[in-house]
Structure 1
Amino acid sequence: MTDESAADADKSELRYDAVFWDIGGVLLDLDSVRASHEAFLREFLAARDVEVSVADALAEWREVVGAHFRERDGTAFRSALEGYGKGVDAIVGEHVPRDAWFPAFREAGREHLRATPRARGVLERLHRDGVYQAVVSDVDDEECAFILDHLGLAPFLDDVTTSESVGRTKPDDAMFEAALEKSPHSPEKTVMVGDRYDHDVAGAAAHGIRPVAFGADDGPAVAHRITDLAEVLEVLGVDD
């Protein structure tokens, strides 16, 4: 048996042939996101000599960004970067052009954002075993590309479906339908790894995708539950 045919035989024994990944809270460590935001505001406030504490600025920024998303129409996409800009404006008390704050924001991301433990190793292993992998995430196209490249995960992915590209956010049918349309595998042979029950778990289950809860609340739609991304290998039937 050739190496190629052996690999095909091993792949045929997998329980699932495809994995859809969320980004924030799954591939991207959320503590690192919080650290990045705090570092950005600290640098921004110092550069502009704004007389407000980092803690107060961070609280106001988060409130404004949160309101930006809460005010959207149902599952309609709203840009996170646009919300971040609104937060900056609120802190300063006037409009701040993007080119006056975004470089510091991006640099803080480069310094602080990190992958969830074992994310890179798991994606690399699945890629090597021929498992189809795609991102399905509520994120801006620009931020998605930066994060996946920065974390070193982009080379292992076959496709990316963002809310900006679809115009909707999970659990809207359009998000999962767009991802499935591009995938060569059926929903029944696909898992969705997510950290939010309504958006990722129940949303995927409604389309026949087998949900893997990673920090998500419990509920009837959960097919598998993991506490470490390495456990995805066992879910798929990949020998560790």
Structure 2
Amino acid sequence: MTLRGVIFDLDGTLLDTRSAQDAAARAWATEQGDTAADVAERWHLIAERHYRRYQLREIGFEDQRRERVREFLGMELTDAEASELFSTYLERYEAGWQRYADALPALQRARAASLRIVVLSNGQAAQQMRKLERFGLAEAIDAAVFSSELPAGKPDPRAFHAALAAIDVDARDAWMVGDNWDADVCGARGAGVFPVYLDRENSRPTTECRRVTSLAELEFS
């Protein structure tokens, strides 16, 4: 292959949003009277389930937020009540976002190698753009593609094809760099893109594809 472009995932790859989610969930749950040790993991599993429903277009974006609150609290809530409660979590979550130290240097190395760069995220466009702009990533990439604007998100091949079209690069000439095995690695393979698995926790040694534990390990020239 002749490498011409790189697709980067956003959450968990360029930005640390899981730590923000866990901290926000603990603080929010405590406010609701739940101080159990497992609140962050419970919130994460509930969030994953309802966000997946949104990805499948079974429910709307705001609906999946409300459903998270209803399930976590085990309460019947009106839409307005659920949205208001979620907003108090969201404020904490957004305040906790952080950019990984290796993110911007990796993008800069890819740019220095004359590669086209696109972010592909299974996220809602407005929120994800705020992340890119807030952390100085928007000017370091050529395009951004979000599942909220697509018929389907990763691992559906159409999501990868949309990202490739945004930078005018063929699948055989691109890498996909991401931290999610199913969405990023398996999805990239299904779309004919070379996957690079980012395993920051060093939790899944594999010989099935290229694996790195930091974006600092990526060289593009």
For the aligned pair, the TM-score class normalised by the smaller chain equals: 0.7 to 0.9
Q: Which residue of 2 aligns with 1:226?
A: 212
Report 1:45-194 matches (<5 A). 45=31, 50-53=32-35, 55=37, 58=40, 61-69=43-51, 72=53, 76-77=56-57, 82-90=63-71, 91=73, 93=75, 94-95=77-78, 97=80, 100-194=84-178
> 1:95 is matched by which residue type in structure 2?
T
- Per-residue CA deviations over 1:54-85 (Å, capped at 9, x if unaligned) read 65655554443343245x39x62466653232
Query: Residue type matched to 1:176 in 2?
Result: F
State the distance in 1 between where 2:79 and 2:37 align. 20
- Give the 3 Å change call, closer, same or farther, for CA 147–89 of structure 1 in structure 2: same
The count of corresponding residues between Structure 1 and Structure 2 is: 212
Q: 1:28 aligns with which of 15, 37, 40?
A: 15
Tell me the secondary structure at the aligned position of residue 192 of structure 2.
coil
2:196 to 193, 212, 216: 212
Q: Answer whether contact 2:118 2:166 (CA < 8 A) is retained.
A: no
- CA shift digits 1:133-191 (9 cap, x unpaired): 11112112232112222332121121112111113121112111211222222222211
Q: CA deviation at 1:103?
A: 4.4
Asked if structure 2 preserves the Cα contact closer than 8 Å seen for 1:117 and 1:229, the reply is no
TM-score using structure 1 length: 0.73
**Amino acid aligned to 1:148:** L
CA deviation after TM superposition for structure 1 residue 86, in Å: 1.6
Q: What residue ranges of structure 2 are gaps of 5+ in the alignment?
A: none
Query: Is 1:19 the counterpart of 2:6 in the alignment?
Result: yes
State the alpha-carbon separation in 2 of the partners of residues 186 and 113 from structure 1: 32
The change in CA–CA distance for 1:81 and 1:116 in structure 2 (over 3 A counts) is farther
Secondary structure of 1:225's match?
Answer: strand
Q: Which residue identity lines up with residue 68 of structure 2 in the other structure?
A: G
Paired AA for residue 19 in structure 1: V
- Partner Cα distance (1:141, 1:186) in 2: 24
Q: TM-score, normalised by structure 2?
A: 0.79
Judging changes above 3 Å, is the alpha-carbon distance between structure 1 residues 130 and 167 closer, same or farther for their aligned structure 2 residues?
same
Q: Measure, in 2, the Cα distance between the counterparts of 1:133 and 1:203.
A: 18
Bigger Rg, structure 1 or 2 = 1
